[in-house]
Amino acid sequence: MNNEIFKRFEVKYLVTKEQRKLIEEVFKNYMVPDAYGESTICNIYYDTPDKRLIRVSLESPAYKEKLRVRSYGQIKPGENVFVELKKKYDGVVYKRRVSMKENQARIYLKNNSGIEHSVEKNGFLERQIVKELDYVKDYYKNLEPAVYLCYDRTAYYSKDDENFRVTFDKNIKWRREDMQLTSKPYGNDILEEGMSLMEVKTASAIPMWFVNILSKENIRKTSFSKYGRAYMQMLEEDRNKNNVIRYDFSDRKVG
């Protein structure tokens, strides 16, 4: 079982196709593509039946958290996935994740069973991450798959500082059926055609050359949650489905 821990600031921007092209042109002098290049990222977000986690998150509290299972592209049954706990406090993002088999992850998150037997021969750090995951499962109880989210990501990191990373996500899609990472990526679009979500991830300050690009192109940071946007679209979809039109005796629509 592998683990990864992240602690960093994340700033998000929505950019047009033209703005992205300009930014990536400047990147040639300062940034290099990630080793994975372009990849499709697939996630299943877990939440309570009443969607407590995302409802709290949309209220913009000082502290919020999300639980998801992630794969890089469509996987085959039994392949590895990441179970991730993402927390944000006072603008700083903390992420903990462990790798396990896809079927193991589903069982672990479904029936509230522990996975201590899978980490006993691993190090202290792995066990600590699993304890955090166990705590979240026990605290919220009845967690279930809430939404499938996928997108095509292009990642870069700085030639001078590997901790400064920029990613572009396009074709962001969601669905709430067929929530399997073994299924093909597809779903409802979140962004307008040609738009990308640019995320800046850094452990320190943003380089001045990058700040100059943002200023020159008048690109301003935005508050953007992929799961949050999907949740709002789900609510709208439900409202449309439940909007039963009633008629009075004169056939005049009244609601």
Which tens digit of pLDDT belongs to each residue from 150-169? 999 999 999 998 889 999 99
pLDDT of residue 114: 53
Task: Give the pLDDT band (50/70/90) at residue 115.
Answer: low
Task: Give the pLDDT band (50/70/90) at residue 3.
Answer: low
pLDDT of residue 251: 43
For residue 46, the Cα-to-chain-centroid distance in whole angstroms is 11
Domain residue limits, the chain? 3-241
What are phi and psi for residue 217, nearest 5 degrees?
-95, 5
Neighbours of 75 (CB within 10 A): 16
Q: 34-69: per-residue pLDDT in tens? A: 887 789 999 999 999 999 999 999 998 989 999 999
pLDDT of residue 37: 73
Question: Which tokens hold the place of 43?
Answer: 């996630």
pLDDT of residue 246: 43
CA atoms of 216 and 230, how far apart (whole Å): 31
pLDDT of residue 252: 39
CA atoms of 163 and 217, how far apart (whole Å): 24
pLDDT of residue 245: 45
pTM for this model (two decimals): 0.88
Question: Which tokens hold the place of 233?
Answer: 């679209």
Domain 3-241 sits in CATH at 3.20.100.30
CA atoms of 66 and 188, how far apart (whole Å): 21
The arithmetic mean of pLDDT across residues 6-19, rounded, is 93
From 111-125, 177-191, 237-251, the region with the lowest mean pLDDT: 111-125
The arithmetic mean of pLDDT across residues 167-186, rounded, is 97
The arithmetic mean of pLDDT across residues 131-146, rounded, is 92
pLDDT at 128 over 90: no
CA atoms of 210 and 202, how far apart (whole Å): 12
pLDDT of residue 58: 93
pLDDT of residue 188: 98
- Tokens 């962001």 locate to 172
The per-residue pLDDT of the chain, averaged, comes to: 88
53 neighbors 67 (Cβ within 8 angstroms): yes
